[in-house]
Amino acid sequence: MKHLLDANTLIEAKNRYYGMSICPGFWEWLKLQHQAHELASISLVGDELKKGNDELAEWAKNYPTLFHDVTDENTQEAFGMIVTALAEQASMMKTGALDDFLEGADPWLIAKAMTTGASVVTHEVYNPDIKRKFSIPNVCKQFNVPFMNTFELLHKLEAQFVLPG
């Protein structure tokens, strides 16, 4: 896999611009890109999506191979590196920011990207001045992990959703 999807890329797509009933081509494209080893996500993102009670939860349940395991030794070691580095910065952040970040899938997503050479795809935006929370782009930048948003991914992989006609 070359690109790892953050949960927000799928949630935003479903809720806004690529609703499952109005743009089913996007969801099929995701499957095709996964089969071509271009993109995936991680099990913790899948778990987060499956907790919902909507069509995205069903889609995630029906497509479990998209969500890769994070229990491998390399990912575990990378996660440890992230925890250590961020713990050293925690005093400069809002109280609880480290705990909030470590409770979710985000550090695991970055750790998996570190071990696979993948780019992280997220809607979060890099902001070097942020102090209220740890963000995916900021942590990615600290560990030299490439990141992009959904639209950059679509351009990079030359996605086309064309109506038959």
pLDDT in tens, 71-80: 999 999 999 9
Reported confidence tier of residue 91, pLDDT bands at 50, 70, 90? confident
Domain ranges (residues) in the chain: 3-156
Q: CA of 76: how far to CAs of 26, 42, 96, 103, 147, in Å?
A: 32, 13, 23, 15, 20
- Bridging pattern class, strands 147-148 and 119-121: parallel
pLDDT in tens, 23-33: 999 999 999 99
Integer Cα distance of 150 and 148 in angstroms = 7
Predicted confidence at residue 95, as pLDDT, reads: 86
Name the residue with tokens 């925690």: 90
Predicted confidence at residue 128, as pLDDT, reads: 84
Highest CATH level, class, for 3-156? alpha beta
The sign one gets for the Cα dihedral 82, 104, 36, 165 is: negative
What percent of the chain shows pLDDT beyond 90?
A: 81
pLDDT in tens, 25-59: 999 999 999 999 999 999 999 999 999 999 999 99
Residue 141, pLDDT above cutoff 80: yes
Tokens of 52: 């919902």
Predicted confidence at residue 164, as pLDDT, reads: 79
At residue 26, the 3 state secondary structure works out as: helix
